[in-house]
């Protein structure tokens, strides 16, 4: 939706801070839902969780084209976050099954290219559609085709699970059982969102109360509703595992045991803290880049895609691949290779990003935006691979969900709102965005501290796997 920030702001009469809340709605809910949905994926079926996620977020994207008020669009963006929360941790855990050892970071880098490709094309095509037909059609046209991808996602094969049912049988099951119980599990969200909307509407009657307060109350209501919904889904997933209830209970015991070990893993501390800062920098830049180019450089919505999209896409794709390849090559000779690739991109890219934000001559803009995205996407594959290297395989999706929870909630969930708030207060979006590279370089340095601990933590996980396999044979 970042491509259409400006037309949305004009049509719905929003402040920059409210635009920031629309960006953060998706991130906050993604953060809260990622961990429990990761647990569901570990216990039951990762491909099913991915299918649910893709279906929810594409439907919610299309619904954004029919809104008339801020809180309605906020709800749609929150549901998009719920959808992606079911996708990313489970997807990376499946990739980890297929690619082990030296190829893992590159494989996740390829996956990250898809994320970058979709994000940049969304900004590009969304801007073109918005300029030709209005911003609402951008949501509708970019949303509904994704339902086909949800069907394809149900065909993903997991190595440690039985093959998916035939396509016709899958469709029949969706038709017969898909809507059963939906009302029961969606009711908490409807109740909490309704209460938040009522409070927001009531506060809007008083001119002296800032609109941000109502926005915050509604965001809390939606967040609580989605968290409540996810909490209801966890026992459902455990109840419907293919194994007996005792096995499900054993899976929880294993998870608790592994969670204790994870909390004692120093590398994860640096990855989690640094990861929050670098996601703040990256996603804050993505959120406000289109609006920045429209305000500072006078480009139209469609021009943003042509001027910004091509070079950002090229830089992001090559950066994700180069970072993954570099990390794997270094990892063959040195356990800290993936940690180095994860943090170094932000140390190198920070001064380039500063120059990108300060340059006035658009002839320099293309190489600067290419270089910024090239270095800022190095971390995509390596950072997830570092987590997978120091975490027991049985709980990889759960731990990746915990990383998503912390890094997004403590990182990029703050970026859109904080940059919008600073822009409102200072009257300068450019000045507000200079905070992003400063936080990014600090995050890169913190990740690099993991170089001192990663070798020891990898050895600990290897020893744990040997011990657990020996205990299983007994």
pLDDT tens for 215-252 read 666 666 766 766 666 556 555 544 444 333 443 444 44
Predicted local distance difference test score (pLDDT) of residue 228: 67
Predicted local distance difference test score (pLDDT) of residue 231: 59
CA distances from 66 to 61, 63, 76, 218, 289 (A): 10, 6, 10, 19, 25
Q: How far apart are CA 461 and CA 463, in angstroms?
A: 5
Task: Tell me which CATH homologous superfamily contains domain 2-473.
Answer: MFS general substrate transporter like domains (1.20.1250.20)
- In 297-413, where does DSSP find H-type helix? 301-304, 310-333, 337-358, 365-376, 380-389, 396-407
CB of 281 within 8 A of CB of 436?
Answer: yes
Place of tokens 């940049």: 120
* Regions of the chain with pLDDT less than 50: 167, 174-175, 178-179, 181-182, 237-252, 254-255, 258, 472-474
Predicted local distance difference test score (pLDDT) of residue 169: 57
Q: Report the alpha-carbon angle 123-128-132, nearest 5.
A: 145
Predicted local distance difference test score (pLDDT) of residue 352: 94
Helix pair angle (88-98, 104-133), 10° resolution: 140
Pick the closest to residue 419 from 409, 406, 429, 410 (CA basis).
429
**Domain limits, the chain:** 2-473
Q: Is the dihedral of CA 77, 78, 80, 81 positive or negative?
A: positive
Report DSSP state, residue 240.
T
Cα–chain center distance at 377: 14
């Amino acid at each position: 939706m970042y491509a259409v920030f400006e037309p949305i702001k004009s049509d719905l009469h929003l402040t920059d801070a409210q635009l920031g809340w629309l960006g953060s709605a998706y991130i906050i809910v993604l953060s809260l839902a990622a961990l429990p949905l990761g647990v569901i994926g570990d216990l039951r079926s990762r491909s099913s969780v991915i299918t649910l996620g893709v279906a929810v977020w594409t439907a919610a994207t299309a619904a954004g084209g029919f809104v008339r008020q801020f809180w309605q669009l906020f709800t749609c963006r929150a549901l998009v976050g719920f959808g992606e929360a079911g996708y990313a941790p489970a997807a990376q855990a499946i990739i980890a099954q297929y690619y082990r050892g030296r190829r893992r970071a590159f494989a996740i880098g390829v996956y990250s290219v898809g994320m970058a490709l979709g994000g940049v094309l969304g900004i590009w095509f969304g801007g073109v559609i918005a300029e030709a037909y209005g911003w609402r059609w951008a949501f509708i046209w970019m949303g509904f085709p994704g339902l086909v991808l949800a069907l394809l996602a149900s065909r993903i094969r997991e190595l440690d699970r039985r093959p998916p049912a035939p396509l016709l049988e899958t469709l029949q099951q969706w038709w017969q059982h898909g809507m059963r119980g939906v009302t029961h599990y969606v009711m908490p969200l409807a109740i909490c969102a309704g209460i938040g909307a009522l409070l927001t509407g009531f506060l809007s009657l008083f001119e002296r109360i800032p609109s941000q307060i109502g926005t915050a109350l509604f965001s809390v209501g939606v967040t609580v509703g989605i968290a409540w919904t996810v909490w209801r889904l966890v026992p459902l997933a455990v109840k419907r595992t293919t194994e007996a209830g005792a096995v499900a209970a054993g899976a929880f015991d294993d998870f608790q045991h592994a969670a204790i070990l994870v909390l004692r893993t120093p590398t994860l501390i640096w990855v989690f803290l640094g990861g929050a800062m670098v996601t703040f920098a990256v996603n804050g830049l993505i959120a406000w880049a289109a609006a920045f180019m429209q305000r500072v450089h006078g480009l139209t919505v469609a021009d943003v895609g042509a001027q910004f999209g091509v070079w950002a896409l090229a830089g992001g794709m090559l950066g994700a691949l180069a970072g993954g390849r570099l990390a794997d090559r270094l990892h063959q000779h040195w356990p800290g290779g993936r940690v180095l690739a994860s943090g170094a991109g932000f140390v190198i890219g920070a001064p380039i990003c500063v120059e990108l934000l300060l340059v006035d001559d658009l002839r320099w803009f293309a190489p600067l935006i290419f270089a910024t995205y090239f270095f800022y996407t190095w971390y995509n594959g390596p950072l997830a691979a570092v987590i997978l290297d120091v975490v027991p395989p049985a709980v990889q999706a759960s731990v990746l969900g915990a990383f998503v929870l912390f890094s997004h909630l403590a990182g990029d969930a703050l970026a859109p709102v904080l940059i919008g708030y600073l822009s409102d207060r200072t009257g300068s979006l450019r000045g507000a965005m200079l905070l992003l590279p400063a936080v990014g370089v600090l995050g890169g340095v913190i990740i690099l501290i993991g170089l001192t601990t990663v070798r020891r933590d990898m050895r600990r996980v290897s020893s744990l796997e040997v011990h657990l396999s020996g205990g299983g044979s007994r």
